[in-house]
Structures are given as C-alpha cells and as structure tokens.
Amino acid sequence: MPKRRWSFSDVEQSIYLTFDDGPIPEVTPWVLDCLNQYNAKATFFCIGNNIEKHPELFSRIIEEGHAVGNHTQNHLNAWKTKSKLYLANIQYAQETFYQHKSFTKLFRPPYGRLKKKQEEVLLAKGFDIVMWSVLSKDYDQKVTPEKCLNNVLENVISGDIVVMHDSKKAQKNLMYSLPKMLKHFTKEGYVFKKIS
C-alpha cells in the first residue's frame, strides 16, 4: 500500500474526479447537477467548517452516491502549522464528519502539503491519503477556462485522479470546463468513479 495515493491502476477506462474545499451553496449544487446529468460519481474533499455551515449540501453529496473525504476543519497549510495543531484540526473535522453520519478515512491535505511526521501519524490512524495525478488549476486566476479544460483533456489517462474545486475562486473555470470534460470523456467511453 503506497503512503499516498496518486492514481489507480484500473483495467477499464475510468477517471476519479475529486472536488476540494466545499461544500458551498454557490457552486456545489451546480457540480452535483452536472455529475447527475452524466451519471458520474466523484469524491468531495470537504472542509469541516463548510459542512457545519451547509449540512444539507453535505447530506446531498452522500445521498447522491458520491464519496467524501476530510480536507481539515479550516483548510490549514501543513507546512505552516505546528503538527500537533494540524493533526488536532483534522481530528476536529473527523468529528464533524461523524456528527453528519460519515465515517470516511479518506484525507487530502490542503495545497497537497504534508510533513513526514504528520503523514506517519495519519497512516497509523488508518487514513488513506489521496493526492492526484492531474491538476486542472481551476483555482488559478491566471489560467483561462480553456486552459483549465485542456489541462485535463490533454493529460488524463485511465485511473487518473483529477483535482478540481467546488469553490468561489474556481467557479468561472469550473463552470466552463466540467460539463465539457464530462461530455468528452463519456463519449470516449470512460466511467467516472468515486474513491472508496
């Protein structure tokens, strides 16, 4: 078992779409509607604080058959946070998940950053640390919507984990690229799977 999961070695054509930073009412419902349209499943790495603010959205993600993962309580940067505080923040988020009937062991560190010590503790606690193999860069204001789409279309191979964001910062790029991406890969015979 790898220390961090970057992709899957799937035989069938599959893509693992992931969405970080939600759930928020401005973007997450739209993402869910899009996924439904293509019968696509995804994994949402949620911020605990956003779950507390929008519990009905979190419930909808689960009810519609998607997976969820821990993205800390307050979107902390592991490199800039004392390990004790960082791990406590993950645990706090984990309790938020429990309160909303989710017992996930998936974890993605914000910014993809994690100190070795933090990683060791999380693995010892049974977390599956999920990274990515394709970065859409939807959050980057300097990236055009077209470029965001091409970042995915030109780089995805079967088994890839694609990272996107259901956040206000990513909204413009996401709303342009996600429907086109879903349409393109569905036509190519790909299946969109959640991480379990």
pLDDT in tens, the chain (196 residues): 468 999 999 778 999 999 999 999 999 999 999 999 999 999 999 999 999 999 999 999 999 999 999 999 999 999 999 999 999 999 999 999 999 999 999 999 999 999 999 999 999 999 999 999 999 999 999 999 999 999 999 999 999 999 999 999 999 999 999 999 999 999 999 999 999 8
Strands (E), the chain: 4-5, 14-20, 42-46, 67-70, 106-107, 128-130, 134-135, 160-165, 191-192
What is the sign, positive or negative, of the torsion defined by CA atoms of 38, 42, 46, 51? positive
First vs last Cα of the chain: how many Å apart? 15
Q: Name the residues annotated as catalytic.
A: 20, 165
Identity of the amino acid at 145: P
Predicted local distance difference test score (pLDDT) of residue 3: 87
What does the alpha-carbon distance between residue 113 and residue 141 come to, in Å, rounded to a whole number? Answer: 21
Q: By three-state DSSP, how is residue 133 classified?
A: coil
Place of tokens 């519609």: 64
Distance of CA 180 to the CA centre of its chain: 19
Q: Which two tokens stand for residue 25?
A: 């009412």
* Helix/strand/coil percent split, the chain, to 5: 40, 15, 40
Domain 4-192 is found in CATH 3.40.50.740 = no
Question: What number of residues does the chain have?
Answer: 196
Q: Judge if pTM exceeds 0.75.
A: yes
Place of tokens 């390990």: 83
What is the sign, positive or negative, of the torsion defined by CA atoms of 159, 117, 50, 128? positive
What does the alpha-carbon distance between residue 131 and residue 45 come to, in Å, rounded to a whole number? Answer: 11
Residue-range domain boundaries for the chain? 4-192
